Chains A and B, each alone.
Chain A
Amino acid sequence: MVNQNSINTNFTVGTEQAIVQPTQPAFFAFAGLSQLDVTGNNTIYSVHFDTEVFDQNADYDGDYIFYAPVTGKYSFICTLKMSGITAAMNVGKAVCKSTSVSADYCYSNAGCVRDAGNFRTFYGSITIPMDAGDNSRCRIQIGGGLKVADVMGDASISYTNFGGMLEC
């Protein structure tokens, strides 16, 4: 199970004793394109992260869903840069939604704290239990206004991203 080549290796131990687990489920993806007019009127929208940076064990579907390969505790991190925020949008939150648990992040008055360019960041992290086959995704829900809020994406800049890993 432990060796110093990288064929079917669970652990790789460096000379400084740092341990890397190249087959451990871990992924990170970001939105390569903006997603326009997705919320603002209380619509719940599953954000797409179409550009994979890494996907050890191939458990992320390349679009927006992560599937747990084994039962365990999984950590997720998300950062969502939203644009087109208006003053009327007086509520908003990001959500880590899995098969068994839902965690809300950054529930607040989106319109009041948007910056001069009408941007606002939502972010959150959590470690949740998942059974083998369970799935998780990242959602955004903003309300109080019209459906004109966008998810910011870019082919090379990680404005909006979603990552996770099997922790234990």
Chain B
Amino acid sequence: MVTQNNVNASYTLGANRELANNAQPAFCAYNSSTDADQTGNGTLVTVDFDTEVFDQNADFAADTFTAPVTGRYYFVYQLELDDIAAANTSGNSFIVTSNRTFYHNYYDYGNCQTAAGIYAIQGNAQCDMDAADTSTIQVQINNGGADTVDVNGHATDMLTFYAGYLTV
């Protein structure tokens, strides 16, 4: 299980005894292009992360992470929201797992946006997951009268992303 080359190795041991675990479930995915008009009038939307940066153990697909084993997982995400209006006076974002939902970012979004209508939010959590449990990211912005809030994306820059790994 422990070798000093990279062939079928769980651990890679560095020259100074650093340990990297190439088989440990870990992923990072991002939104490569803007998804327009996703929320703003109370619509709850599952966020799109269409491009993988890495996906050790291939547990991420279709915006969803599926736990391969029972354990504790750390998740982090950022959503760059755009076209926010002054009327969007509430909203929040979520990590939705099979066992429980984690709530983040209760703000007056209309009061926080840049002149261009942008506001970036983050959330993270340490989650208990059973094997085959799933995790996604959702966002809901309210009071705008219409769903005009976009979720920004970019071909190479990490504006909207979702990442996680098996910790213990």
Q: Which A residues form the contact surface with B (CB < 8 A)?
A: 2, 13-14, 16-22, 24, 26, 28, 53-54, 56, 77, 79, 81, 112-117, 119-121, 123, 125, 156-159, 161, 163-165
What's the nearest-Cβ distance from chain B to residue A117, in Å?
6
Q: Which residue of B lies closest to A79 (CB)?
A: B104
B70 neighbours in A (Cβ, 8 Å): 20
A163 neighbours in B (Cβ, 8 Å): 125-126
Q: Which B residues form the contact surface with A (CB < 8 A)?
A: 1, 10, 21, 23-25, 57, 68-72, 74, 89-92, 99-109, 111-112, 122-128, 142-143, 166-168
What's the nearest-Cβ distance from chain A to residue B12, in Å?
13
Cross-chain contact B21 with A19 (CB below 8 angstroms): yes
Cross-chain contact A116 with B126 (CB below 8 angstroms): no
Known: A16-B23, A20-B70, A116-B143. A165 touches B106 (CB 8 A): no
Cross-chain contact B100 with A18 (CB below 8 angstroms): no
28 contacts between A and B (CB under 8 A): A14-B68, A14-B69, A17-B23, A18-B57, A18-B166, A20-B168, A21-B168, A26-B72, A53-B128, A56-B72, A77-B125, A79-B103, A79-B104, A79-B123, A81-B103, A112-B111, A113-B108, A113-B111, A115-B109, A116-B89, A117-B106, A119-B106, A121-B92, A123-B104, A159-B103, A161-B125, A164-B126, A165-B167
Known: A13-B1, A20-B166. A115 touches B91 (CB 8 A): yes
Cross-chain contact B143 with A79 (CB below 8 angstroms): no
- In the complex, given contacts A53-B100, A119-B90, A161-B125, what are 15 additional A-B residue pairs having Cβ atoms less than 8 angstroms apart? A19-B21, A20-B166, A26-B72, A26-B167, A28-B128, A53-B99, A77-B124, A79-B102, A121-B106, A123-B124, A157-B100, A158-B102, A159-B103, A161-B102, A165-B167
C-alpha gap A163/B128 in the complex (Å): 11
Cross-chain contact B69 with A18 (CB below 8 angstroms): yes
C-alpha gap A158/B97 in the complex (Å): 11
B69 neighbours in A (Cβ, 8 Å): 14, 16, 18, 20
A2 neighbours in B (Cβ, 8 Å): 1
A125 neighbours in B (Cβ, 8 Å): 124
Cross-chain contact A114 with B104 (CB below 8 angstroms): no
B104 neighbours in A (Cβ, 8 Å): 79, 121, 123
B10 neighbours in A (Cβ, 8 Å): 13, 17, 19
Cross-chain contact B126 with A77 (CB below 8 angstroms): yes
C-alpha gap A116/B111 in the complex (Å): 11
B128 neighbours in A (Cβ, 8 Å): 28, 53-54
A164 neighbours in B (Cβ, 8 Å): 126
Known: A113-B108, A165-B72. A157 touches B167 (CB 8 A): no
- The winner among B10, B70, B72 for most chain A CB atoms within 10 A is B72
C-alpha gap A159/B101 in the complex (Å): 9
A79 neighbours in B (Cβ, 8 Å): 102-104, 123, 125
What's the nearest-Cβ distance from chain B to residue A138, in Å?
13
Known: A21-B168, A161-B102. A113 touches B107 (CB 8 A): yes
